[in-house]
Amino acid sequence: MGLLVALDRPEPVSQLSGLVDELCGAVDGFKVGLPLVLARGPGVVHRLRSLCPRGLWVADFKLADIGYTMRLVASTVVDYVDAVIAHAFVGVEGALAELKDMLDEKGRRLILVVSMSHPGSREVMDKVFEDLLSIASRLRAWGVVAPATRPAMVRRAREALGPSVKILSPGVGAQGARPGDALCAGADYEIVGRAITGADDPLAAAEEVRRMQEERLREGCGS
């Protein structure tokens, strides 16, 4: 059971430092998003991680390009994170295979987006969901992103990918999924952004998410 906090808001590093420091012992890691890195520079990842070396640190640039370019982008933060997120839909040859090689060389993990938490994911991405799952399998991706807002997608990802692939699920809180929805469907981590980072008391909010996750699992995941 896991909880990752999404750091997206382009706040001053001094403010974010306090947040990361406060949450460090209460969560399982952080996902650093593009708005923050674009505003503060890739060095922000290193600075924040040094405040909380424990846990999983994920760079979420949602890479979707040719291999050459994805490698260049990933290289800006690869030394400071455990894993990098890319879109599965760009395909293997000339794209994800090259990124995967680079991450393997660096001892870093690849996470692929196979379905998204917003309703528009149904318009295109979810029509090729099975193909995206098979790309994740072929590439031996460490993990996939699948939506907490649609637990059936998480369930199907777990069924298709087996127990060893990590499933990370956003959409909890601000986007409507409840803590535990994705875990109950087979996810390893729920990703929570605004419901924690925008709370008056982020630590209390994170602890409440955890409490609700535990309660759902303890009660056998009934609705």
Binding site for ligand BMP (CB under 6 A): 6, 8, 33, 60, 116-117, 145, 147, 170-171, 173-175, 191-195
Q: Which of 218, 197, 202, 191 is nearest to 111 (CA)?
A: 191
The residue annotated as part of the active site, out of 62, 100, 127, 166, is 62
The residue (of 11 and 68) whose beta carbon lies closer to ligand BMP is 11
Q: How far apart are CA 191 and CA 206, in angstroms?
A: 11
The residue (of 94 and 167) whose beta carbon lies closer to ligand BMP is 167
Residue 167 CB, shortest distance to ligand BMP, in Å, is 12
Q: What are phi and psi of 91, to 5 degrees?
A: 90, 170
Residue 112 CB, shortest distance to ligand BMP, in Å, is 11
The residue (of 33 and 67) whose beta carbon lies closer to ligand BMP is 33
Cβ atoms of 185 and 158 closer than 8 Å: yes
Residue that is written with structure tokens 């708005």 in the block: 35
3 state DSSP class of 145: strand
The residue (of 101 and 131) whose beta carbon lies closer to ligand BMP is 131
Cβ atoms of 30 and 58 closer than 8 Å: yes
Q: Which two tokens stand for residue 11?
A: 């706040």
Residue 155 CB, shortest distance to ligand BMP, in Å, is 16
**Which H or E run contains 192?**
strand 189-192
The residue (of 52 and 88) whose beta carbon lies closer to ligand BMP is 88
User: Could you tell me whether strands 2-7 and 166-170 are parallel, antiparallel, or unpaired per DSSP bridges?
Assistant: unpaired
Q: Which two tokens stand for residue 174?
A: 């601000």
Cβ atoms of 12 and 47 closer than 8 Å: no
Asked if 127 is an active-site residue, the reply is: no
Question: Closest residue (Cβ) to ligand BMP?
Answer: 193
Catalytic residues: 62
